């Protein structure tokens, strides 16, 4: 059966367009340089949006992802890279929950809300244990995740919003229609997403999915990191700059080492 969801098919193809210009790629290259990382593990490496620039910057990067379509996009993109970049990458199809590659890295990263993808009981904690298991002594783990904005969530519950933009290569119109619903008791967000590609009035492609994500608050992430045997040595409220993790922060970024 074909894979479903926001990381498959048409959605995987448009992932990079929807996530262009976040500024986190340059930040991860900076963090890898700061950590003098000769080996990096990216958990949930997706289309290689971060993995490929890290390899192009000279770092050896292993990516793990469970989605065939996201990995296919990553491999297609790698094919267009020079051998010097390709030979620095390895992409493995696996679930990050309970993962044990039997290898240790200088830097382990879980960028762009991977934590929220893990909705099953104990899975988020398992991801953090996976990160710890793959760290060398003195190695650094970076976890980056959005902070739930309760006011925005209450106001946008059940409200459909539409975003329209031009495909950067073909110039066709991409229309992203997004309706979130929040379960505030179980900390789950269920998003109904419709993606359409149009040429004028003609619909070229249409894909629809309903996906559930978990949302976490900084206090519980700190507790999970602690429980997983990770000691946080730095926190910030944005992945791209060292702003405080306070009420104005949109993200929570934790830098941790083995406790």
Ligand X SMILES: C[S@@+](CC[C@H](N)C(=O)[O-])C[C@H]1O[C@@H](n2cnc3c(N)ncnc32)[C@H](O)[C@@H]1O
Interaction site with ligand X (CB under 6 A):
7, 19, 44-46, 49-50, 64-67, 70, 95-97, 111-114, 117-118
Q: For residues 22 and 50, is the Cβ–Cβ distance under 8 A?
A: no
Shortest distance, position 198 Cβ to ligand X, whole Å: 25
225 or 239, CB closer to ligand X?
239
Separation CA 175–CA 164 (nearest Å):
5
78 or 198, CB closer to ligand X?
78
101 or 173, CB closer to ligand X?
101
Shortest distance, position 193 Cβ to ligand X, whole Å: 13
Separation CA 41–CA 44 (nearest Å):
10
Shortest distance, position 156 Cβ to ligand X, whole Å: 19
112 or 228, CB closer to ligand X?
112
Shortest distance, position 222 Cβ to ligand X, whole Å: 22
The 3-state DSSP class for residue 28 equals helix
77 or 205, CB closer to ligand X?
77
Kindly give the pairing relationship between strand 105-110 and strand 39-43. parallel
Exposure of 112 by Cβ count < 10 A (0-12 exposed, 13-18 middle, 19+ buried)?
buried
> Is the backbone of residue 98 left (phi > 0), alpha (psi -120 to 50) or beta?
left
What stretch of H or E contains 166? Answer: strand 161-166
Q: How far is CA 108 from its chain centroid?
A: 13
Torsion angles phi and psi, residue 32, rounded to 5: -65, -40
Shortest distance, position 199 Cβ to ligand X, whole Å: 27
Shortest distance, position 100 Cβ to ligand X, whole Å: 13
173 or 187, CB closer to ligand X?
187
């Amino acid at each position: 059966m074909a894979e479903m969801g926001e990381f498959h098919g048409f959605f995987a193809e448009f992932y990079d367009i929807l996530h262009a210009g976040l500024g986190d790629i340059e930040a991860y290259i900076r963090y890898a340089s700061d950590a003098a990382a000769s080996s990096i593990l990216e958990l949930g490496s997706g289309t290689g949006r971060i993995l490929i620039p890290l390899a192009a910057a000279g770092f050896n990067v292993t990516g793990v992802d469970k989605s065939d379509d996201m990995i296919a996009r990553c491999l297609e993109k790698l094919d267009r890279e020079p051998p010097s970049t390709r030979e620095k990458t390895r992409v493995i199809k696996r679930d990050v929950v309970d993962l044990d590659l039997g290898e240790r890295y200088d830097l382990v990263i879980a960028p762009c809300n991977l934590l929220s993808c893990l909705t099953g009981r104990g899975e988020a904690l398992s991801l953090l244990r996976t990160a710890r298991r793959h760290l060398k002594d003195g190695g650094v783990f970076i976890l980056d995740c959005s902070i739930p904005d309760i006011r925005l969530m209450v106001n946008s519950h059940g409200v459909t919003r539409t975003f329209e933009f031009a495909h950067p290569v073909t110039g066709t119109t991409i229309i992203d229609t997004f309706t979130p619903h929040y379960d505030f008791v179980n900390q789950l967000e269920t998003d109904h997403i419709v993606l359409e590609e149009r040429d004028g009035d003609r619909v070229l492609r249409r894909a629809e999915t309903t996906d559930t994500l978990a949302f976490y608050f900084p206090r519980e992430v700190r507790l999970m990191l602690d429980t997983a045997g990770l000691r946080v040595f730095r926190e910030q409220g944005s992945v791209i700059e060292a702003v405080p993790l306070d009420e104005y922060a949109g993200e929570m970024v934790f830098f941790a080492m083995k406790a």
